[in-house]
Amino acid sequence: MHLTIAMAIVIRDIIIQNFSTVDGKDSDLKHIFPGSLNFEAKVVARLDQANAPASSAKVVIVDDFGAKADGTDDSQAFKKAWEEACSSNGSAIIVIPKNKIYYLKPLTFSGPCSSDLVFKIFGTIKASAKISDYENDRRHWLVFQNVQNFRVKGGGTIDGNGKIWWENSCKINKSQPCQHAPTAVTFLESKSLIVANLRFQNAQQMHLSFQNCVNVRALNLMVIAPGTSPNTDGIHVTGTQNIRIRKCVIRTGDDCISIVSGSKNVEATDITCGPGHGISIGSLGADNSGAEVSNVFVNRATFSGTTNGVRIKTWQGGSGYAKNIVFQNVVMRNVTNPIIINQNYCDQDNPCTEQTSAVQISNVKYKNIKGTSASDVAVKLDCSKSIPCRGILLQDVSIALVENGKPDASCANVNLTNRGEVYPQCS
């Protein structure tokens, strides 16, 4: 079974369209992603080369390796299909057929592979609901490790089947000890990735994590879990550079997008978030650790009924920095904390010890942010006493209360500039 040249051309055109820039005239984007057009041209050229011999691409269908999609475990069939495709001398496509549900135990798909791969999910991949299946690793379900020039797409669904994990979470069931739960899909130490046109739902904990990756595109994703599901972050970015997240709808029980230490050159554009905890940078600096996050650009995001809108959160006692951050063209609808910097973050039962060291927050811009706040304090900038926030800009910000009344702004230990109409303002 082979792809036609015509299909290869269609795939190439879709990729080129998805790599179009947000706004080539935006100085903030150019500053954060210098040379981005040259980079994208190189990536598209690389994918064109990969697609050129598509008529001879090897197609690997999981059913041919014993996958039954009958409610039994299909893990070994998927493992064999991966090994076949990964060892192929030419380009290969792994196909998960539509209208079928394949149950998998924890699996790691390891590279490096001999050539470029496409993982096409037309049907549904669903996690085993037995907690005992995760005895060897409670932190992961599906892991793609050390892969390069790799695409996952197809319009299908990845279902973490997380209900049993939520019910046993200490945040839901106070009688249970606090333990880790699996991230549904993790990309680890990989390069040149495209994850597009998929639905992620009901993760055991986080839905999609990029860890120590370079050159990533996450496009047209739907990420869904109940608003009450604990720790079900939508897209988690850690130690990853040059990542663009675009046209994603994320409705979960935790951060829609979370960006933590080691991440650089992160863009999130056309994001619909809610329910959930908003888009968060952090938490950073826990347990007196160092943290480095820089060059984050959030553009055209809508938050509906979330606990936070755009948030930066750091623990006392940390070190390092979070800098060169832009939040612009944002709509808030009934958001509890629309704009928040919290450098006294403390997610534990006992009060945190006051400490003097802190992650330095600097050069953060909030531009064209409109909407409504569900709480009286629409803007809260709670920065460190010892290491205040520097270079914070509020420009064209207008946030009213959902109910009648005047919103407040609370600012402490911050070097702040207001530009244009800003409401509410810190006194």
CA dihedral sign, ordered 319, 320, 322, 323: positive
- DSSP class of residue 123 equals S
Q: Which one of 140, 207, 236, 277 is the catalytic residue?
A: 277
CA dihedral sign, ordered 384, 342, 188, 28: negative
Question: How many angstroms separate the CA atoms of 224 and 63, rounded?
Answer: 28
Residue 104: burial class (beta carbons within 10 Å; 0-12, 13-18, 19+): buried
Question: How many angstroms separate the CA atoms of 323 and 232, rounded?
Answer: 26
Helix (H) or strand (E) holding 83: helix 75-86
Q: Are the CB atoms for 298 and 328 separated by under 8 Å? A: yes
Q: Write the CB contacts of 238 (distance below 8 Å, at least 6 apart in sequence).
A: 209, 210, 211, 212, 259, 260, 261, 262, 263
> Considering just the CA atoms, what is the radius of gyration of the chain in Å?
22
Question: Could you give the angle at which helices 5-18 and 36-51 cross, rounded to 10 degrees?
Answer: 170
Question: How many angstroms separate the CA atoms of 361 and 390, rounded?
Answer: 6
Q: Answer left, alpha or beta for residue 305, where phi above 0 means left and psi between -120 and 50 means alpha.
A: left
Cα angle, residue 113 at apex, residues 112 and 114 outer, rounded to 5°? 125
Amino acid at residue number 281 = I
Q: Are the CB atoms for 259 and 232 separated by under 8 Å? A: no
Which tokens is 256 given? 């829609």
Chain position carrying tokens 């509890």: 336
| 140 flagged as catalytic | no
CA dihedral sign, ordered 324, 18, 194, 206: positive
Cα angle, residue 213 at apex, residues 208 and 215 outer, rounded to 5°? 100
Q: Answer left, alpha or beta for residue 70, where phi above 0 means left and psi between -120 and 50 means alpha.
A: alpha
Q: Supply the residues annotated as catalytic.
A: 277
